[in-house]
Structure 1
């Protein structure tokens, strides 16, 4: 396929032929979202037809949407938790998925302050890697010369643990310019540099690794790769020794083009601090993913944080959308209200409901999105809030978006003192009653 074959596409001219193929794949998926979704659902129902969960719903091998929608209920994690716990305890029968569970992913806990165990299968890794392979072709549309440089990513990996049966590992999601998954993670890395730059520069100066680093594979790799570099050590020490760390990222890495980091939702509170340390570099939210499922891409990754939206890739899972109502609950909302990806109404808010290859069926994600459309492509969705993440006192309910706005407005009072809010948390104080005037 020639590079110029999609010059007139909504995505823009590709940087190379490899990128052209990736962008073409995105367009084909999103232009034909409904038919792709229909095929995905049929594949999921066919392969998992003999699982305990689907057999219990009496689908009788049906793979069409109508039967699926009439017989499969919406569920929450609490509904599936007993089945998931059986898998974690060592039950090897096909409970949710016909394919063997390879490991459990633990959620970050950002959805409702608690960690959940999400079973996954090996082929999900390939599906997720496919989504990752689409990120740079999109980024190349907006930032030139990325192929001539390097990217620095901070990977925060929690210690691997085991399920009660010791059969499957438990993993927390790891992070994917300069970047980390969440804004808070990148700031952790900067703080670590603040505390340890002297030792870092000493290691670089001498070409040796501090004895505090005891992990054998890391020591073996670094022994092969590290070389004495006094000039680089002096350069880093010169910047880090200064009291003012404003713009430290571009002072140490002057060619940095953007920060690859999530700054939507609860992470929005860290935007001013990231601006301080980066000198206002663009913050690219490249994709939307969770432990349950990888959803889609941001096709305009260099937009302002307040304008971030995601195009759902219909090949990742089967997606349905529950119209947002203030008091929606699993028991009060009939599944008949769910709409397909092709049928969402522009400008409305929806909670995302997913059916995955790993066996989750009509699972409520608790993430609420507002939909809008890009010409010729599938609808895009802007993250609004996470359901049930709110302060609730009697009839007064405050979600994370409203809390973020309140903190931003209150922090304006600190400007005259050259002070800003670095981080905040919240809780419901029921000891006092606010006085209104």
Structure 2
């Protein structure tokens, strides 16, 4: 890590050359002349920026057993993404290099950082509870030589024996498909274990912890696992859930550590104890480019390199990886909070935003505003989604929210006003549209009962694993479906 922190641009440039050299004789490499690309400008000019849909013809053939299409070594594993941006599952190729030199390297670096920050840790005296997804035989391969599952399940299935020894629950439970049965079995299996750390997505971790508390008839998870000291989390922002975790695990000694680990790769680790920013990991077989926000919607957006990014600006991430994703748009947006070393915060999704009125509201704004409203009204948020309520004859447009609480605010009007005020301070475009209710009026918030989002995700077949509640949408697809379920319940 010290090497890429000191020489970030050299490390990235050497990595780009190495990736192109290794993949030069693949079908994709021959198509775009990887062998002749001498510098990054030629790479940008010749190799197109792609989405999953652009690469799908190659991935479909990979899943049928063909090889040497995008990457030279055999690809037998595929990380299944929930496809929350387009309601369709994605199957991301995972090579051996991606497993060893990216995902597992990230896990080992994470442990190194943790122990360096907390030398008094007792984490290794107990078990790591991993809340992962499921794994199945890949139905597209007639010879059943390739497999797919949530990225967490792919990692669990391929872990070395020493890592399997310190994790819980057993593999047969960890990789179960049926989520509700899985939560029950995980609760029963782990309730008597000495769990010292948890790894998982905050939303589904809460479901498991609440079930364990229900079984034990207690309000503190420390009554079940007294030696619990760390929660390593990712996939969704933690800030809106922080208060709820503090109530479930009431200890000032509990440590929370964020990672940025997606189906496409392991990108970042929170490396400081006093900051939630993440160190961008530059030697995991991933070459980075970034699209500035004002280029997002261009047909041929211009990218900037690591040496060209600026503090505080929103960028869409473009990656080229050791699993054969070339100039791939993953859909996430980040802000750089430091350029020496390069540290980042996830700011949202390129497709998960509300911009129906020119307000350009991103997930980061929404989550920060909800956290502020919860803090001031002593509430604990469990889940939320939001979308636009369009302008109609005789009425202004606004944002419409559905929010589920573990502890609801006593004064709903106050909560709404605080959320709105915070959004106005965070987002100048939103504030401009809210001036004198010019284009946007006060948000409409539906305060719904606990369990609503769980029922909705179940109805959509999106329980567990890598499935995430869609936070913001620039249309009413999710909002109307959820409200219709609430009304008919």
TM above 0.5, yes or no, is yes
Alignment of 1:402 onto 2:402: no
- The 1-side partners of 2:221 and 2:4 are apart by 37
Which residue of 2 is the match for residue 268 of structure 1?
239
User: How do 1:137-176 residues align onto structure 2 when only pairs under 5 Å count?
Assistant: 137-147=112-122, 149-166=125-142, 167=144, 168-174=146-152
RMSD: 2.9
The question of whether the paired residues in 2 share the 8 Å contact of 1:312 and 1:380 is answered with: no
Which residue of 2 is the match for residue 230 of structure 1?
none
- The 1-side partners of 2:311 and 2:281 are apart by 14
Alignment of 1:346 onto 2:311: yes
Q: 1:79 to 1:330 in 2, by over 3 A?
A: farther
- The 2-side partners of 1:137 and 1:84 are apart by 34
Q: 1:427 to 1:161 in 2, by over 3 A?
A: farther
Shift of 1:423: 2.4
Q: 1:111 to 1:34 in 2, by over 3 A?
A: farther
- Give CA-to-partner distance per residue, 1:70-101, whole Å, 9 cap, x none: 2112111122122222322x151422112221
Which residue of 1 is the match for residue 210 of structure 2?
191
Match for residue 75 of structure 2 among 82, 85, 101: 101
Match for residue 287 of structure 2 among 308, 315, 318: 318
The answer for unaligned runs of 5 or more in structure 1 is 1-25, 198-239
- Give CA-to-partner distance per residue, 1:132-151, whole Å, 9 cap, x none: 11112211222232256324
For these two proteins, the number of residue pairs brought into alignment is 351
Q: 1:284 to 1:360 in 2, by over 3 A?
A: same
User: How do 1:4-403 residues align onto structure 2 when only pairs under 5 Å count?
Assistant: 26-62=1-37, 64-88=39-63, 90=64, 92-109=66-83, 114-127=88-101, 128-147=103-122, 149-166=125-142, 167=144, 168-174=146-152, 177-195=196-214, 197=215, 240-242=216-218, 245=219, 248-262=220-234, 265=237, 267-279=238-250, 281=252, 282-300=254-272, 302-303=273-274, 307-325=276-294, 328-329=296-297, 331-334=299-302, 338-373=303-338, 377-393=340-356, 395=358, 397-403=360-366
- The 2-side partners of 1:279 and 1:263 are apart by 23
The question of whether the paired residues in 2 share the 8 Å contact of 1:322 and 1:350 is answered with: yes
Shift of 1:254: 2.8
Q: 1:420 to 1:287 in 2, by over 3 A?
A: closer
Which residue of 2 is the match for residue 205 of structure 1?
none
The question of whether the paired residues in 2 share the 8 Å contact of 1:414 and 1:420 is answered with: no
Q: 1:49 to 1:280 in 2, by over 3 A?
A: same
Which residue of 2 is the match for residue 214 of structure 1?
none
Q: 1:187 to 1:38 in 2, by over 3 A?
A: same
**Normalised by the size of structure 2, how large is the TM-score?**
0.64
Please state which structure has a larger fraction of its residues in strand. Answer: 2
- The 2-side partners of 1:272 and 1:290 are apart by 25
- Give CA-to-partner distance per residue, 1:280-317, whole Å, 9 cap, x none: 554523431111111132211x335xx33233223431
- The 2-side partners of 1:413 and 1:133 are apart by 39
SS in structure 1 of the partner of residue 148 of structure 2: strand
Q: 1:126 to 1:63 in 2, by over 3 A?
A: farther
Q: 1:286 to 1:424 in 2, by over 3 A?
A: closer
Which residue of 2 is the match for residue 422 of structure 1?
382
Shift of 1:52: 1.9
- The 2-side partners of 1:263 and 1:59 are apart by 33
- The 1-side partners of 2:243 and 2:84 are apart by 21
Q: 1:123 to 1:405 in 2, by over 3 A?
A: closer
Shift of 1:413: 7.6
- Give CA-to-partner distance per residue, 1:335-363, whole Å, 9 cap, x none: xxx22223322333322111011111111
- The 2-side partners of 1:70 and 1:356 are apart by 18
- The 2-side partners of 1:413 and 1:340 are apart by 41
Structure number, greater radius of gyration: 1
Q: 1:278 to 1:268 in 2, by over 3 A?
A: same
Q: 1:320 to 1:91 in 2, by over 3 A?
A: same
- Give CA-to-partner distance per residue, 1:184-241, whole Å, 9 cap, x none: 122122133145x3xxxxxxxxxxxxxxxxxxxxxxxxxxxxxxxxxxxxxxxxxx33
